[in-house]
């Protein structure tokens, strides 16, 4: 029999007392038993009445039959009391079931009302959901746009500040461009920046001074720009008197490194398998204490390390120029990368000359536009310098981000080792003939006694220059500067004047320049 409400079939084990029909089904057994008890009670009552009526009419025969009758009467009375008690329990349980069914109905009704109310609220809310969603999305996009604008403006202000600091530091350091005989030259600290291919004819003090100045201003600029150089530069500090530079593989991956030559640097295999011995990288010097030809002849390892240091410094300057979108010419051009003075000037000063669009009050009046140029009030915007836009110290345009990594991959700057190889070749080709021997002391005087004219020839990038030596002091000076001395034999019959004119015709039968051997 199915339930009238839930339409479920009755199951006495799994679904008992789910509704009124189930309750009625459960009460049917008790009611049937109660009805049977009433029928039995009526039958017993009739039997008792019949027995009593027969006893009144007939005489009692014996006492045993009377006792049996009384026992039957007591049993029937006790059964009647038990049936009445069971009936009262069934009625109480039926009342409880009825109350539970009523409470379940009320709960179902309350849930129905709640569901209907939620459906109504959902319908009312979903009616304007598209409009609200589009409005909130628009407001969020506008808020993001405002934040990005403020972020970009703050980044531009910071970049302009960095460019200003770099330019002022470079100007205070004396980095400038000058024109001499129509050729652009660059100076730093009042000293002209040499061409790396002419280092054979430059004094070691000049080379060390210029490289130290360039390394110092480059590190200072990178500090302002928040840029980490690919080849780490170590400036002079306590117990570290000269600047050095590390290779690309060992930069930013070491601890404290002693100054080259001041302490023994442990090698990779010094400790064997002992973990206490850690490999300490060897920095490349940015200084020399001897003329470059002498250094190449006496200490080839130090010579190679110094050339690597110069190549790494040139690579650092070109890399920073590329990171700041400063034009350095052809990135894979050896001459453009090695032109350190021009690249450094373009990085710190050259491109900033055209940047005059800073906000009023941010920088001093020294950065105001020149007279005759359109002002900001005329509505014209000048191109801004990209100096300071990309760095490792800010989230905006960060060089370590995915976009910055792709930007770095586009540099394609000539590698340091290629620069070293080409620099060695150029210097070896332009170096003086080191196999010629020098004339010093008594040999020089003997050469004059034999009618030999000593002439010093010093090669540089612009071409050879020669001039007569008037005394032994001049010859000693040329020998001290590691200039190669050559001799030209002059016949007494040629009539060479005493002033040693280099344009005089040599005597017939001579080859012009000959080699002088020791005696």
Whether the CB-CB separation of 466 and 485 falls below 8 Å is answered with: no
Query: Domains of the chain: which residue ranges?
Result: 20-127, 148-257+279-369+382-426, 433-519
Q: In what order do the strands lie in the sheet with 452-458?
A: 465-468, 452-458, 485-489
3-state secondary structure 239-269: CECCCEECCCCCCCCCCCCCCECCECCCCCC
Whole-model pTM over 0.85: no
E strand map for 168-232:
176-180, 183-188, 191-192
Give the pLDDT confidence score for residue 472 in this predicted structure. 35
pLDDT, tens digit, for every residue of 126-176? 777 788 888 999 999 999 999 999 989 988 888 888 889 999 999 999 999
Q: How far apart are CA 310 and CA 196, in angstroms?
A: 8
Give the pLDDT confidence score for residue 58 in this predicted structure. 56
Higher local confidence (pLDDT), 176 or 279: 176
The tokens of 280 are what?
């300490």
2 strand-pairing partners: 9
Q: Is 502 exposed, middle or buried (0-12, 13-18, 19+ CB in 10 A)?
A: exposed
Find all residues with CB under 8 Å of 207, minimum gap 6, and list them.
194, 199, 287, 288, 292
**What is the DSSP code (8-state) at residue 514?**
B
pLDDT, tens digit, for every residue of 192-229? 999 999 999 999 999 999 999 999 999 999 999 999 99
Residue whose tokens read 């061409």: 195
Q: How far apart are CA 418 and CA 334, in angstroms?
A: 9
Whether the CB-CB separation of 294 and 375 falls below 8 Å is answered with: no
Give the least confident one: 44-48, 306-310, 415-419. Answer: 44-48
Is the pLDDT confidence value at 507 over 50?
Answer: no
Is the pLDDT confidence value at 287 over 90?
Answer: yes
Give the pLDDT confidence score for residue 235 in this predicted structure. 93
Give the pLDDT confidence score for residue 1 in this predicted structure. 56
State the sign of the Cα–Cα–Cα–Cα dihedral 390, 395, 401, 403: negative
Q: How far apart are CA 251 and CA 381, in angstroms?
A: 41
Find all residues with CB under 8 Å of 178, minimum gap 6, and list them.
184, 185, 186, 187
Higher local confidence (pLDDT), 218 or 403: 218
Find all residues with CB under 8 Å of 284, minimum gap 6, and list them.
244, 245, 246, 247, 305, 306, 308, 309, 312
Write out the DSSP string of 328-357: -S-TT-HHHHH-HHHHHHIIIIIGGGG---
Find all residues with CB under 8 Å of 333, minimum gap 6, and list them.
414
Give the pLDDT confidence score for residue 243 in this predicted structure. 94
What percentage of the chain reaches a pLDDT higher than 90?
Answer: 32
Q: How far apart are CA 383 and CA 480, in angstroms?
A: 53
Give the least confident one: 2-11, 70-79, 102-111. Answer: 2-11
Q: How far apart are CA 292 and CA 481, in angstroms?
A: 11
The 3-state DSSP class for residue 185 equals: strand
List helix spans (H) across 128-203: 129-173
Give the least confident one: 70-84, 227-241, 277-291, 455-469. Answer: 455-469
Using the CB atoms, write b or e for 182-198: b if 16+ within 10 Å. eeebbbbeeeebbbbbb
Is the pLDDT confidence value at 449 over 90?
Answer: no
Higher local confidence (pLDDT), 386 or 152: 152
Find all residues with CB under 8 Å of 195, minimum gap 6, and list them.
461
Give the pLDDT confidence score for residue 75 in this predicted structure. 85
Higher local confidence (pLDDT), 485 or 436: 436
Please state the rounded mean pLDDT for residues 353-370: 40
pLDDT, tens digit, for every residue of 227-261? 999 999 999 998 889 999 999 988 988 888 888 87
Higher local confidence (pLDDT), 203 or 123: 203
Is the pLDDT confidence value at 519 over 70?
Answer: no
**What is the DSSP code (8-state) at residue 201?**
G
The 3-state DSSP class for residue 475 equals: helix
Give the pLDDT confidence score for residue 309 in this predicted structure. 94
Please state the rounded mean pLDDT for residues 470-494: 34
């Amino acid at each position: 029999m199915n339930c009238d409400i839930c339409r479920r079939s009755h199951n006495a084990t799994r679904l008992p007392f789910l509704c009124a029909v189930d309750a009625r089904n459960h009460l049917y057994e008790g009611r049937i038993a109660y009805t049977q008890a009433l029928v039995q009670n009526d039958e017993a009552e009739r039997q008792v009445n019949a027995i009593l009526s027969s006893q009144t009419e007939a005489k009692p025969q014996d006492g045993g039959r009377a006792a049996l009758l009384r026992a039957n009467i007591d049993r029937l009375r006790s059964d009647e009391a038990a049936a009445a008690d069971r009936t009262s329990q069934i009625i109480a349980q039926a009342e409880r079931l009825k109350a539970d069914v009523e409470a379940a109905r009320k709960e179902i009704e309350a849930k129905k009302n709640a569901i209907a109310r939620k459906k109504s609220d959902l319908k009312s809310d979903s009616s304007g959901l598209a409009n609200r969603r589009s409005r909130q999305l628009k407001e969020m996009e506008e808020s993001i746009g405002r934040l990005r604008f403020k972020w970009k403006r703050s980044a531009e202000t910071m970049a302009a500040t960095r460019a200003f600091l770099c330019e002022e530091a470079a100007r205070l350091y004396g980095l400038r461009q000058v024109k001499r005989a129509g050729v652009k030259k660059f100076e730093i600290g009042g000293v002209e920046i040499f061409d790396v291919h002419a280092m054979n004819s430059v004094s070691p003090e000049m080379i060390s001074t210029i490289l130290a100045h360039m390394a110092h201003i480059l590190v200072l600029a990178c500090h302002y720009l928040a840029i980490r150089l690919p080849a780490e530069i170590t400036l002079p500090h306590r117990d570290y008197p000269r600047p050095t530079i590390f290779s690309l593989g060992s930069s930013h991956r070491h601890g404290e490194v002693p100054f080259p030559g001041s302490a023994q640097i442990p090698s990779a295999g010094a400790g064997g398998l002992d973990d206490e011995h850690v490999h300490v990288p060897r920095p490349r010097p940015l200084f020399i204490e001897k003329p470059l030809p002498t250094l190449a002849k006496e200490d080839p390892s130090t010579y190679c390390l110094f050339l690597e240091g110069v190549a790494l410094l040139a690579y650092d300057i070109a890399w920073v120029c590329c990171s700041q979108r400063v034009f350095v010419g052809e990135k894979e051009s050896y001459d453009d990368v090695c032109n350190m003075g021009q690249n450094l000037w373009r990085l710190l000063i050259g491109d900033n000359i055209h940047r005059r669009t800073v906000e009023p009050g941010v920088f001093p009046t020294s950065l105001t536009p020149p007279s005759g140029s359109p002002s900001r009030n005329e509505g014209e915007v000048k191109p801004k310098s990209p100096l300071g836009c990309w760095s490792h110290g800010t989230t905006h345009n960060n060089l370590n981000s995915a976009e910055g990594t792709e930007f770095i991959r586009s540099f394609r700057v000539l590698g340091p080792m290629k620069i070293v190889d080409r620099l060695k070749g150029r210097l070896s080709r332009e170096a003086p003939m080191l196999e010629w021997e020098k004339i010093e002391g008594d040999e020089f005087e003997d050469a004059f006694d034999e009618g030999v004219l000593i002439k010093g020839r010093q090669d540089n990038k612009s071409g050879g220059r020669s001039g007569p030596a008037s005394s032994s002091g001049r010859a000693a000076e040329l020998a001290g500067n590691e200039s190669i001395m050559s001799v030209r034999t002059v016949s007494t019959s040629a009539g060479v004047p005493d002033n040693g004119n280099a344009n005089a015709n040599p005597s017939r039968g001579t080859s012009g320049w000959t080699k002088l051997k020791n005696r």
